[in-house]
Amino acid sequence: MNLRSFAAALAVTVALPLGAASAADLEVTHWWTSGGEAAAVAELAKAFDATGNHWVDGAIAGAGSTARPIMVSRITGGDPMAATQFNHGRQAEELVEAGLMRDLTDVATREKWKDIIKPASLLDSCTIDGKIYCAPVNIHSWQWLWLSNAAFKQAGVDVPKNWDEFVAAAPALEKAGIVPLAVGGQAWQAAGAFDVLMVAIAGKDTFQKVFGDKDEEVAAGPEIAKVFKAADDARRMSKGTNVQDWNQATNMVITGKAGGQIMGDWAQGEFQLAGQKAGTDYTCLPGLGVNEVISTGGDAFYFPLLKDEEKSKAQEVLASTLLSPATQVAFNLKKGSLPVRGDVDLAAANDCMKKGLDILAKGNVIQGTDQLLSADSQKQKEDLFSEFFANASMTPEDAQKRFTDIIASAE
Amino acid sequence: MPEIVAFNTIDAGIEPEAEKVQARATQAGPRGRKPRRALSGRNIMIYGTLIVVALYYLLPLYVMIMTSLKGMPEIRLGNIFAPPLEITFEPWVKAWSSACTGLNCDGLSRGFWNSVRITVPSTIVSIAIASINGYALANWRFKGADLFFTILIVGAFIPYQVMIYPIVIVLRELGVYGSLTGLIIVHTIFGMPILTLLFRNYFAGLPEELFKAARVDGAGFWTIYFRIMLPMSMPIFVVAMILQVTGIWNDFLFGVVFTRPEYYPMTVQLNNIVNSVQGVKEYNVNMAATILTGAVPLFVYFVSGRLFVRGIAAGAVKG
Amino acid sequence: MAGHTRGSGRPNQWSRNLNAKFASVPMILTAVVIFLGGTIWTVVYSFTNSKLLPRLSFVGLDQYERLWAAPRWLMSVQNLLIYGFFSLVFSLVIGFVLAALMDQKIRFENTFRTIMLYPFALSFIVTGLVWQWLLNPEFGIQSVVRSLGWTSFAFDPLYNSNIVIYGILIAALWQGTGLVMCLMLAGLRGIDEDIWKATRVDGIPMWKTYLLVIIPMMRGVFITTLVIIASGIVKVYDLVVAQTSGGPGIASEVPAKYVYDYMFQAQNLGQGFAASTMMLVTVAIIIVPWAYLEFGGGRKRA
Q: Does the pLDDT of residue B2 top 60, yes or no?
A: no
Residue A88's pLDDT is what? 65
pLDDT score of B270: 85
Inter-chain touch B105–A38, beta carbons under 8 Å = yes
Closest-CA residue in chain A for B77?
A255
Cα angle: C71, vertex C73, C75; to 5 degrees:
70
Whole-number pLDDT of residue B277: 56
Residues in chain A with CB shorter than 8 Å from the CB of C132 are 244
The residue among B20, B24, B31 with the most chain C CBs within 10 A of its CB, best to mutate, is B31
In a domain, B230, yes or no: yes
Residues of B in contact with A85 (CB under 8 A): none
Best residue in B266, B276, B284 for a mutation probing chain A (most A CBs within 10 Å): B276
Residue B297 in contact with partner chain C when CB distance is under 8 A: yes
Nearest CA in chain C to B270: C123
> Looking at CA atoms only, how far is residue B196 from chain A in angstroms?
29
Cross-chain Cβ contact A38/B172 below 8 Å = no
A52 contacts: CB under 8 Å, gap ≥ 6:
A17, A23
In this structure, the answer to whether residues B11 and B48 fall within a common structural domain is no
Separation of first and last alpha carbons in chain A: 41
Which chains border A (3 or more CB–CB pairs < 8 Å)?
B, C
Nearest by Cα to B162 from C261, C283, C63, C70: C261
B222 in the same domain as B81 = no
Q: Does C230 touch chain B (CB under 8 A)?
A: yes
Q: Which of B309, B23, B28 is nearest to C188 (CA)?
A: B309
Q: At B150, which CATH number?
A: 1.10.3720.10
Asked whether residue A113 falls in the same domain as residue A243, the answer is: no
Residues of chain B with C-beta less than 8 angstroms from the C-beta of A27: 261
What is the number of structural domains in chain B?
Answer: 2
Mean predicted confidence (pLDDT) in C151-156: 85
What is the torsional sign of CA A246, A247, A250, A256? negative
Tell whether A195 and A211 lie within a shared domain.
Answer: yes
B155 and B298 both lie in a single domain: yes
- Judgement on whether residues A279 and A381 belong to the same structural domain of the protein: yes
| Cα(A303)–Cα(A84) distance, integer angstroms | 6
Q: Quick check: B100 and A39 CB within 8 A?
A: yes
Q: How many CB pairs below 8 Å do chains A and C form together?
A: 89
Same domain as B157, residue B72: no
Mean pLDDT of C72-77: 95
Q: Which residues of chain A have pLDDT under 50?
A: 1, 3-21
Cis preceding-peptide flag for A119 (omega within 30 of 0): yes
Contact between B163 and C2 using a beta-carbon 8 Å cutoff: no
Based on the fold, state whether residues A125 and A228 are members of the same structural domain.
no
Q: Does B129 or C137 have the greater pLDDT score?
A: B129
> Same domain, yes or no, for A24 and A165?
no
Q: pLDDT tens, B51-89?
A: 999 999 999 999 999 999 998 888 877 788 888 888 889
**Calpha distance B238→B19 (Å, rounded):** 19
Kindly list the distances between the CA atom of residue A8 and the CA atoms of A326, A341, B49, in Å, as whole numbers in the listed order: 12, 15, 75
pLDDT grade for B15, boundaries at 50, 70 and 90: very low
Binary contact (A31, B165; C-beta < 8 A): no
Q: What is the mean pLDDT of residues B204-226?
A: 86
Q: Which residue of C has its CA nearest to A93?
A: C52
In a domain, B249, yes or no: yes
**A2 vs chain B: nearest CA distance in angstroms?**
30
Of C259, C272, C282, nearest to C81 by C-alpha is: C282
Mark whether A171 and A285 lie in a shared domain: yes
Residue at B93 is within a domain:
no
A193 and A166 in one domain?
yes
Whether chain B has a CB inside 8 Å of the CB on C202: the answer is: no
Residue ranges making up the domain that contains B103: 2-27+98-316
What residue in A sits closest to C49 (Cα-Cα)?
Answer: A376
User: A78 contacts in C (CB within 8 Å)?
Assistant: none
Identify whether residues B84 and B107 lie together within a single domain.
no
Contact indicator for C21, B144 with CB cutoff of 8 Å? no
* C215 has a chain B CB within 8 A of its CB: no
Cα(A376)–Cα(A384) distance, integer angstroms: 13
Distance from CA of A64 to the nearest CA of C (A): 5
In a domain, B141, yes or no: yes
Alpha-carbon dihedral of residues C206, C212, C218, C224, nearest 10 degrees?
110
In DSSP terms, A341 is beta-bridged to A117
The reply to whether A30 and A57 lie within a common domain is: yes
Asked if residue A304 is part of any domain, the answer here is yes
Residues A227 and A316 reside in one and the same domain: no
Q: What is the pLDDT of residues C260-289, one digit of tens each?
A: 889 888 889 999 999 999 998 998 898 888
Looking at the structure, do residues A20 and A115 belong to the same domain, yes or no?
A: yes
- Could you tell me if B148 and B296 lie in one domain? yes
- Residue A100 at interface with chain B, using a CB cutoff of 8 Å: no
* Rounded distance between C-alpha atoms, residue B22 and residue B314, angstroms: 17
pLDDT at position B182, please? 92
Q: B79 and B182: one domain?
A: no
Provide the number of CB pairs (under 8 Å) joining chain B to chain C. Answer: 328
Q: What is the pLDDT of residue C255?
A: 94
Say yes or no: B82 and B223 in one domain. no
Distances (CA, A) of A408 to A228, B150, C245: 17, 44, 27
Give how many domains chain A has, as a whole number: 2
CATH number where A180 lies: 3.40.190.10
Asked if A77's CB is within 8 angstroms of B279's CB, the reply is: no
For residue C115, list chain B residues with Cβ-Cβ distance below 8 A. 54, 57-58
SS3 assignment, position C98: helix
Q: In which domain, by residue range, is A203 found?
A: 144-295+373-409
B35 pLDDT tier (thresholds 50, 70, 90): very low
Residues of B within 8 A of C297 (CB-CB) are none
Compute the nearest-CA separation of C77 from chain B (Å).
15
Secondary structure of chain A in HEC code, one letter for each residue: CCHHHHHHHHHHHHHHHHHHCCCCEEEEEECCCCHHHHHHHHHHHHHHHCCCCEEEEEECCCHHHHHHHHHHHHHHCCCCCCEEEEECCCCCHHHHHCCCECCCHHHHHHCCHHHHECCCHHHHCCEECCEECEEECCEECCCEEEEEHHHHHHHCCCCCCCHHHHHHHHHHHHHCCCEEECCCCCHHHHHHHHHHHHHHHHHHHHHHHHHHCCCHHHHHCHHHHHHHHHHHHHHHHCCCCCCCCHHHHHHHHHCCCEEEEECCHHHHHHHHHCCCCECCCEEEEEHHHCCCCEECECEEEECECCCCHHHHHHHHHHHHHHHCHHHHHHHHHHHCCECCECCCCCCCCCHHHHHHHHHHHHCCEECCHHHHCCHHHHHHHHHHHHHHHHCCCCCHHHHHHHHHHHHHHCC
**A239 in contact with chain C, both atoms CB, cutoff 8 A:** no
Q: Is A368 domain-assigned? A: no
pLDDT of residue B100: 72
Judged against a pLDDT cut of 50, whether residue B7 lies above it is answered with no
Residue B9: inside a domain:
yes
List, as ranges, residues 280-319 from B with C-beta within 8 Å of A.
280-282
Tell me, yes or no, whether B165 and B245 share the same domain. yes
Are residue B75 and residue B200 in the same domain, yes or no? no
A-interface mutation test, from B75, B278, B283, most A Cβ less than 10 A away: B278
Judge: C136–A242 Cβ closer than 8 Å, yes or no: yes
Average pLDDT over residues B85-104: 83
Q: What is the pLDDT of residues C164-205, one digit of tens each?
A: 999 999 999 999 999 999 889 988 887 877 888 888 888 888
pLDDT tens for residues B247-293? 999 888 888 888 888 888 988 888 887 776 555 678 888 889 889 99
What structural domains does chain C harbor? 1-45 (no CATH), 62-296 (1.10.3720.10)
Are residue B56 and residue B20 in the same domain, yes or no?
Answer: no
Q: Does A58 touch chain B (CB under 8 A)?
A: yes
> Nearest C-alpha of chain B: how many angstroms from C117?
8
- A327 and A208, same structural domain? no
Most C CBs within 10 A among B56, B57, B65, B66, hence the mutation to make, goes to B57
Whether A367 is covered by a domain: the verdict is no
Does residue C94 have a pLDDT over 90?
yes
- Subunit contact B235:C190, Cβ cutoff 8 A: yes
Residue A130 one-letter amino acid: G
Which B positions 87-116 lie with beta carbon below 8 A of chain C? none
- For residues A184 and A273, state if they share a domain: yes
Residue of A nearest to B168 (CA): A77
Residues B121, B268, single domain; the answer is yes
Q: Nearest CA to CA, how far is B72 from chain A (Å)?
A: 9
